[in-house]
Amino acid sequence: MKKLLVSLVVLATIFSCGKKNTVSGNSVSGLSSSVSGATETSLASQINNNQFGTGYATYGLTWAQLISNQPNLTYYYASSGLSTVSCETKWTIFKICSTSSSSSSSNITRQVTNSSVDLNSKKSELINIINARTSIQNSGTVYYIITNNAKQYIIDTAKPLQANPVQVQDNSTGKVEYFSYAL
């Protein structure tokens, strides 16, 4: 009986992991949060209400506290070399993917000063990412968004609104730009 129960649990786990999490075509209009799905509604609400920067940036200070002390905090973004992702399906139920990179080094490609970011423009940019989504998932403060323009975005509400999205991957080229550090 135990073997049967364990087998059923393993099979349920395998089939639930392969579930495609897509959302309907409803979109956020302007800066409102009229979207379908709890994940989209939660993220849009956090964007509209400036509920970002709650994670710890340094010893005992959240990002929001650090910014209030240093309004000219600068965010640095790095990019990795081109990479390719290849996937193959085994036995019609398993999808196995691997990534290869042409360059393992990363370099600082962009820097943004917190005080120079227009909040309304940044909110619109993030809302537009939600509007273009084909898939959205979240884990804690991190939202993984795949859009219809072959890009993947990571928005982290623990980081400041001005520093988001914290990662952008262009699936057509394999280039990844990500939040590296702040000074």
Note the pLDDT tens digit of each residue in 60-69: 888 888 888 8
pLDDT tens sequence across 151-168: 999 999 999 999 999 999
Instruction: Count Cβ neighbours within 10 Å for each residue of 79-91 and write b for 16 or more, e otherwise.
Output: bbeebeeeeeeee
Q: Are 74 and 110 in contact (CB under 8 A)?
A: no
In a domain, 33, yes or no: no
In a domain, 17, yes or no: no
In a domain, 16, yes or no: no
How far is Cα 130 from Cα 26, in angstroms, rounded to an integer? Answer: 10
In a domain, 112, yes or no: yes
How many structural domains comprise the chain? 1
Instruction: State the residue range of the domain holding 77.
Output: 51-182
Question: What are the helix (H) ranges across the chain?
Answer: 2-17, 38-48, 63-69, 119-131
In a domain, 5, yes or no: no
In this prediction, residue 10 carries a pLDDT of 39
- Of residues 183 and 121, the one with the higher pLDDT is 121
- Stated pTM of the model: 0.67
In a domain, 100, yes or no: yes
Give all strands (DSSP E) within the chain, no chain letters.
56-58, 61-62, 74-80, 83-90, 94-101, 106-113, 133-139, 142-147, 151-156, 167-170, 176-182
In a domain, 80, yes or no: yes
In this prediction, residue 31 carries a pLDDT of 38
In a domain, 98, yes or no: yes
How far is Cα 136 from Cα 146, in angstroms, rounded to an integer? Answer: 6
- What's the mean pLDDT when you consider all of the chain? 74
